[in-house]
A and B are shown apart, each in its own frame.
Chain A
Amino acid sequence: MEGKTRNTGDIASGLALAALGIAVVVQARRWDYLGPDGPGAGFFPLWYGIAMIALSLVVLVSGLRRQSAPAAQWGKSGRALSAWLAFAAAVALSKPIGLLASFALLTFFITAVLYRRPLPVAAAVAAASTLGLYLVFPLLLGMALPVGVLGF
């Protein structure tokens, strides 16, 4: 039918949630369901795991059926996913170079690469934002943040 497509987002999320539901049920069956004092550790997860499997199958089936409902648009997701990768890199760098230094790099990346600002502008934004966070959190509020080899 013209204009009607399978919803790959629903298919993928339905599969992922069904897998999670199965994992929950398998795990829950290893724990007590009912003990002498009442329901055990496995009682509640077993039931929501079963519900998760059933509902994810509904999502999966509706995704497989050709329909005109709008599917997620992933065309613009490159920028968001790049930002997420940069964020994950900043988390990874928090220990070796310190949280504030890794935040400065993250800010520089977002400003220079994602927003295409000139490098001096990006450097100034990164430096000013980092200084702002340093003044508020470690200095004013006395918070201890991870410090790296650079000493801050």
Chain B
Amino acid sequence: MDILGGLANGFAVAFQPLNLLWCFVGVLLGTLVGIMPGLGPPATIAMLLPLTFKMSPAGAIIMLAGIYYGAKYGGSTTSILLNMPGESASVVTCLDGYQMARKGRAGPALGISAIASFVAGTFGVLGLMLVAPPLAKLALSFSSPEYFGLMALGLAMVVLLAGRSMVKALLAALVGLWIASIGTDLFSATSRFTFGQVELLSGIDFVVVAIGVFALGEVLGNLETREGVQMLPMPRGLLNLLPTLQDLKDCRFAFANGSVIGFLVGVLPGAGSTIASFLSYGVEKAVSRRREQFGTGVIEGVAAPEGANNSETGGALVPLLTLGIPGSGTTAILLAALVLWGFRPGPLFIPDNPGLFWGLVASMYIGNVMLLVLNLPLVPLFAQVLRTPSYILYPLILGVSMIGVYSTSSSLFDLWLLAGFGLLGYVMRKLDYPAAPLILALALGNDFERALRQSLMMSEGSLSILVTRPISAAMLSLAVLVLLIPAFGRFNAWRLRALEQE
């Protein structure tokens, strides 16, 4: 199926009334989640995942993806009005966005953020549409050693950029691998780490861990304080939200910069939207004629990072859908969602499920338009969400988490596991162990082990198969190089600077 044919088919799927509704629900929820500090897209998608089991897979993936990219739009509102990122990808937007708001230009800052998000978000979907099908064809020649190399590289990248301490990030990933190996062995009937519990024979449900570590962990962390937030005045009226022609002219390069950098960074596993927005801001500042004014309320300092973090979404879906390799906590949950609905992301995903892939692509075009329409005139209304009292919000998150987990298995045992993983998520935050490597390793754990063991079966036990095949050798060499980065002072300083932005 060619691209235009695929896209036409995709629009036929995405324009079905129910799918349009799910797209709207997704982007609306995403915007709200993005606005609320302390509740991120991974937690929300994990919480809502069990509710999607009764939906059609197309409607479900359209809605969950809507939450994913919608949150990127919403995050800027909090950055600009509160100087506090609604979600981590919007952290760089605080630098100039909040300064613009302090100078009475909150409206144009919010407006340009929505416009840049729309332009770059649409570019990201275009990139996904053009890059994913040929990459999937290329990946058809991959076998177990190549997949092992790819997954090792993906995990290494996440470990590199997930936390200040790479040792802790690696340990988090190893704990994820351990949780993934709980249950019956992939190739034999051996039960591993089940501690005599029948409930553990089929393993620990990914949803339980994801909701526990992300949603409960976040809520417990936020419950440490009782303080509310102080918001800058919100501009009223659509005209006050629109940037001037001069503003748009100033942002021409920022739109292009954010779009391209965001997409390219998104394709790389592990880098994520925070790094994309940070890099894009850095490039914008480096090439600007008024670079000394950055940080004081320069409009392109808002447009570049906001564009990058939206374009990154399209990029991040490329390795997820074509190789089955997620690059972040959120895409790991999307991978788990696809697997739970009975799909197998990888080279055959697009040819086997053209309606689902192209429906998702088309829905992202539609969703970006919806978000622009929602975010320009309605942003003052959305900002009111920030006034929701925490004592209403947090118990509701806990309640939805309990119901979500119970609904997957109808097992009270899983609720106890949820409590346990919630505490683990909280303690990890306190001790600076990043959650993303754990979730990614958990999502990839079984495939990672399967690829390794199948490779060794192919080679009759010789590890040389991993380094004699060019693609797996290249991937594994890159993974080793990535893990050695802390040994090189200059690169490690860059890594730490990038992480400080988070």
Asked whether B453 lies within 8 Å of A87 as measured between CB atoms, the reply is no
Instruction: Check if B418 sits within 8 Å of A91, measured CB to CB.
Output: yes
Within 8 Å of chain B (Cβ to Cβ): is A3? no
Complex-state Cα separation, A74 to B453, whole angstroms = 43
Cα distance, A43 to B170, chains bound together (Å): 19
From residue A121, how far is it (CB to closest CB) to chain B in Å?
Answer: 9
A80-B221, A80-B426, A141-B51 are known contacts. Are A39 and B452 too (CB-CB below 8 A)? yes
Q: Give which listed residue, B167, B178, B403, contacts A137 with CB less than 8 A.
A: B403
B223 and A80 form a contact (CB under 8 A) = yes
22 A-B pairs (CB sep. < 8 Å): A21-B174, A27-B192, A41-B190, A44-B181, A52-B174, A52-B175, A55-B167, A59-B167, A80-B223, A80-B224, A87-B216, A99-B403, A110-B395, A111-B392, A122-B391, A125-B391, A125-B395, A130-B399, A133-B399, A133-B403, A141-B54, A143-B407
Give chain B residues whose Cβ lies under 8 Å from the Cβ of A84: 216, 220, 419, 422-423, 426
A67 to B502, CA, bound (A): 23
Does B398 interact with chain A (Cβ within 8 Å)? yes
Q: Give the residues in chain A near B171, CB-CB below 8 Å.
A: 17, 52, 55-56, 59
Q: Are the C-beta atoms of A111 and B220 separated by less than 8 Å?
A: no
- C-alpha spacing A31/B449, complex, angstroms: 15
Q: Which of B15-23, B89-97, B375-383, B430-438 contacts A (4 or more CB under 8 A)?
A: B430-438
B181 A45 Cβ-Cβ under 8 A: yes
- Given contacts A38-B453, A117-B391, A129-B392, whether A95 and B430 have CB atoms under 8 Å apart is no
Number of A-B contacts (CB under 8 A): 176
Interface centre among A51, A110, A125, A130 (most CB of B within 10 A): A110
A9: nearest chain-B partner, CB-CB: B431
Q: Say yes or no for B416: interface residue by CB 8 A criterion.
A: yes
A77-B224 contact, Cβ under 8 Å, with A41-B187, A55-B174, A129-B396: yes
- Knowing A87-B216, A110-B391 touch, does A44 contact B449 (C-beta < 8 A)? yes
B344 interface residue per 8 A CB criterion: no
Given A13-B431, A90-B402, A125-B391, is A43 in contact with B453 using a C-beta cutoff of 8 Å? Answer: yes
Q: How far is the CA of A59 from the CA of B432 in the complex (A)?
A: 12
Residues in B neighbouring A77, C-beta threshold 8 A: 224, 430
Say if the beta carbon of A64 comes within 8 Å of chain B.
no
Task: Identify the closest chain B residue to A144 (Cβ).
Answer: B410
Which residue from chain B places its CB closest to the CB of A122 in the assembled complex? B391
Beyond known contacts A31-B190, A83-B223: 18 more, CB 8 A cutoff: A37-B187, A38-B187, A38-B454, A40-B188, A44-B177, A51-B174, A62-B167, A72-B430, A79-B223, A84-B423, A87-B419, A90-B402, A94-B412, A107-B399, A110-B391, A111-B395, A129-B392, A129-B395
User: What chain B residues lie within 8 Å of A55 (beta carbons)?
Assistant: 167, 170-171, 174
Collect the chain B residues with CB atoms within 8 Å of residue A73's CB: 430
Which of chain A's residues have a CB closer than 8 A to the CB of B187? 37-38, 40-41
B481 at the A/B interface (Cβ < 8 Å)?
no
- Is B193 in contact with chain A by the CB < 8 A criterion? yes
Chain B minimum-CB-distance residue to A95: B412
Min CB gap B377→A, angstroms = 28
Determine the distance from Cα of A122 to Cα of B181 in the docked complex, in whole angstroms: 43
A19 CB to nearest chain B CB (Å): 12
Of chain A, the residue at the smallest CB distance from B407 is: A143
B187, B426, B433, B457: residue with the most chain A Cβ atoms closer than 10 Å: B187
How far is B223's CA from A77's CA once the two chains are assembled, in angstroms? 9
User: Known contacts A72-B431, A133-B399: does B406 contact A114 (CB below 8 Å)?
Assistant: no
A146 contacts across to B, CB distance below 8 A:
406, 412
